[in-house]
Amino acid sequence: MKILLIAGGVLVSGVLFNAFTPGHAAPTRFIQEDSLIQDRLKHVNEINEMIKGRENENAEVVYKNLKYIKGFKAGLLPLIMNKWSIALGVSCGHCHEIGSWELDTKPEKEIARKMAGLSPVISDYLKTIKELKNPNPIVNCATCHRGQLKPALEVSAGR
């Protein structure tokens, strides 16, 4: 046990030394990910507080302007949105006007709705391919985006 603690301490010390020593690149990716996590958590907590006591009501009754995702309990929406944000490597403000969640002022919100509509279509089509090893393939945002706003293998189309 003592050896594991020492080894862990040495590993952490080495990582910190390399990260913050002049001439070594700072771990900006990890800092950015941490700030995104904190920002998403702040907004998820805000929404959870806003709907307190209504978590088990239908989402479309509790929230305004739900167009794509419906038919589930309101308490699940912050979890779903958080997962989508993680899959895209963004925070809530990428698609939403913070504090006015129902507004459709950002084109990214409509893009996300349309992209989310692809998941069941692609998943259903994949089920028709008998040669696949998985009889129940599932495609979601993370399948292509992998934590990045632009899909990992996107071919540039002039954007």
Q: With a cut of 50, say whether residue 120 has pLDDT above it.
A: yes
DSSP letters spanning the chain: -HHHHHHHHHHHHHHHHHHHSTTS---HHHHHHHHHHHHHHHHHHHHHHHTTT-TTSBHHHHSS---S--SSBGGGHHHHHHHHHHHHT--GGGTSBTTBTT---SHHHHHHHHHHHHHHHHHHHHTT-TT-S-SS----HHHHHTTSSS-TTPPPS--
pTM of the entire structure? 0.71
Q: Indicate which CATH number applies to the domain containing 75.
A: 1.10.468
The answer to whether position 140 is within a domain reads yes
The answer to whether position 136 is within a domain reads yes
pLDDT band, residue 34 (cuts 50/70/90): confident
Q: With a cut of 50, say whether residue 10 has pLDDT above it.
A: no
Domains: count for the chain: 1
The answer to whether position 87 is within a domain reads yes
Domain that holds residue 34: 26-145
The answer to whether position 51 is within a domain reads yes
Q: With a cut of 50, say whether residue 16 has pLDDT above it.
A: no
What pLDDT is stored for residue 157 in this prediction?
55
The answer to whether position 20 is within a domain reads no
